Structure 1
Amino acid sequence: TQIFNSISSVLGQCDFITCQLYEYHFIKEQMSWDEARAYCRENYTDLAKVFDLKDMRRLQDSAQNQTEAWIGLYNITGGANRRWHWSLPGEEYTENKSCWEDGEPNDYGGIPENCVMTKDKCVDVPCTNTNQFICYNETMKNNKTFHLNDKENKTWEEALNYCREKHHDLVSISNPEEQRWVQERAKNASTPFVWLGLRYSCTLDLWFWINDNRVCYERWASGGRNEDCDMSAAMTTGGQHEWVSQKKNETFNFICIKH
């Protein structure tokens, strides 16, 4: 309850704008980059991805002149030949010097500065610094927002009931884009698999999504589909994030659709 109330109070401090197909939320709470990313992934899609300089100006406007804020750009390599990536979907940042402040990125004072915040442009700073931050949602582009429960292991039916009680439903995947977003969530799981909302029906002799959608897109691992009566589908949390059959009384983390 204490944590929930804390999160609620933070949410109450958000400023909201709509930018193209993305919703941006400015959060006034001070957090490290890792803490900010965890918060954004829990409540939205991720730390903000800046799509162009127009986005940068819109983000500055949304921050109400509080111009120092984390965005989802970080370095994963270190050393002289640093490469920058967006937090989600993990794609590499296409180097664009016009987005950086003059002289940035620079590891000022020889201290590793592997995370990025906005001022008028991008500045690299130590990831342990605390700043306000900007989250974004893709809900206008993709009507699903995904939530990974990595704190509890449940059977398939327990996961289904939990998602329907606490959120909307156990996750379904209908296209490669949704697969990509779900697998990014799955990377943070604490179990080797996460449950999907896909099960096998002996009566109908077919796989079906529990939201009654047809299985139009598939990502089965080679030899991973076992059509026994007590089977449901799970995604591997490492490797290629393919689907495999698992007995529904096994216990794993799971991913819910939030709305």
Structure 2
Amino acid sequence: MIPFICVLYSDGQVFSLVLGQCSLFTCQLFKYHFIDKTRSWDEAQKYCREKHTDLVTVYEETDMQRLRRSAKKQGAWTGLYNKPVSDKNEWNWRWSQAGVEYTEDATNWCHGEPNNANHGEYCVWMTPSKCWRDNRSYTFYETIGYRTWPEAQRYCRKYHTDLISGTKQLEELPSDLSNTAGLYWIGLFADTWRWSDGSSSFFRPWSQTFPVYHPGISKCATLNKDGRWNTANCNSQKPFFCYSDNVILIKENKTWEEAINYCREKHNDLISITDAEQQRWVQERAKNATSSHVWLALRFTCILEVWFWVTDERVDYKNWAPNVKMDDCNMSGAMEAGGKHKWIKEDDMMKFNFFCSKS
């Protein structure tokens, strides 16, 4: 049995459901649909892709609660699925704590690790020498007793912040850290779950424990009326959730004026971002851009010396990068396609990909 380490911060029929309490423009970004017809997961995916955009992806608690309120039956398919993966190179390693990214150049694996020796070794422990090993354990230890990995994660999130995550936090551990086992579970794990639309969301509100890996068996995720998720055989017949995406990423590099003319001629307009929920939705799609930034419908007027959305929304929500000078003429707003997806000002003549909203 293995201990684990928490980290503490002082500072976490077809029924269409349009996002509640949203502005008109927010509702235009995406829409959820509860499909009260029973299908297998594959059949549900095909239905959603033919009639809407895809099976639903969930990013945060508010998304889940809106879906839960619309569910008329217990257990409806989401877009999350777990296909059997025997090749460890196909696994996505993740840190438990939100916002801490796993990168191959910031690891401390023991020699020959990870090796997935016993299949399904999706959890990671730290040895006395502070190198890492993957393991298929179901029991873990922390200073007040033994826990499974999900129990350890829940404990840390309830009483602290999360399981210790990232090399920076691990480097700050005291050098004399020890226990009877000599091993500690850390917040690193291999994620074999994928979203139907390819999104990178790591929102996983499992009902009880982290789903156990079963070699050769495909599992898909269902949303229950209590707002938690369970797994089921993907061939089971269940109702399901689709979503419609009204945001279009145009992978052509154009000036800001060319971009807005393109959107107004072929679609509706450039995209405005007026709250954190819209920011999250758009930035997920920006990851697929072929340019370093993407144009937004954000413009600076020298006459009034203010930024404004050309789509008539007020600039109340802001996501500017730090130290951005705001008083230059001939500037428009763009968002970083990667990194923290902050807004920057750019010369109108720069050429980037851009987002259009659908009519």
TM-score, normalised relative to structure 2: 0.47
CA distance in 2: counterparts of 1:185 and 1:73, whole angstroms? 18
Residue 269 (structure 2) aligned to one of 153, 163, 169: 169
Higher relative contact order (CA 8 A, sep 6+): 2
CA distance in 2: counterparts of 1:155 and 1:236, whole angstroms? 16
**Aligned 8 A contact 2:336 2:343 in 1:** yes
Unaligned runs of 5+ in 1: 1-14, 61-69, 126-132, 139-144
Are 1:229 and 2:303 counterparts? no
Unaligned runs of 5+ in 2: 1-12, 20-31, 59-63, 83-91, 94-119, 124-189, 225-229, 235-239
Give the equivalent residue in structure 1 for 2:249: 148
Residue 290 (structure 2) aligned to one of 186, 190, 195: 190
1:13-162 aligned within 5 A? 16-18=14-16, 21=19, 22-24=32-34, 44=53, 47-49=56-58, 51-52=67-68, 55=71, 57=73, 71-74=78-81, 76-77=92-93, 79-81=121-123, 82-83=190-191, 84=193, 90-97=201-208, 105-109=212-216, 116=220, 122-123=231-232, 135-137=242-244, 145-149=246-250, 151-162=251-262
CA distance in 1: counterparts of 2:328 and 2:18, whole angstroms? 45
CA distance in 1: counterparts of 2:317 and 2:242, whole angstroms? 29
CA distance in 2: counterparts of 1:39 and 1:251, whole angstroms? 32
CA distance in 1: counterparts of 2:34 and 2:339, whole angstroms? 31
CA distance in 2: counterparts of 1:163 and 1:249, whole angstroms? 17
CA distance in 1: counterparts of 2:351 and 2:52, whole angstroms? 25
Query: Any idea what the Cα deviations from partners look like across 1:69-94, whole Å, max 9, x if unmatched?
Result: x7322564484234457666824202
Q: Please report the RMSD computed on the Cα atoms of aligned residues, expressed in angstroms.
A: 4.3
Percent of aligned pairs with the same amino acid: 38
Bigger CA radius of gyration: 2
CA distance in 1: counterparts of 2:282 and 2:122, whole angstroms? 33
Residue 207 (structure 1) aligned to one of 271, 283, 307: 307
How many residue pairs get aligned? The number is 213
Shift of 1:202: 1.6
Specify the SS of the correspondent of 2:73: helix
Where does structure 1 differ by over 4 angstroms across 4 or more consecutive aligned residues? 30-33, 48-54, 82-89
Instruction: Pick closer, same or farther for the CA change 1:54–1:168 going to 2, 3 Å.
Output: closer
Q: Aligned partner of 1:57: which letter?
A: K
Specify the SS of the correspondent of 1:227: coil
Instruction: Pick closer, same or farther for the CA change 1:58–1:195 going to 2, 3 Å.
Output: farther
Q: Aligned partner of 1:122: which letter?
A: T
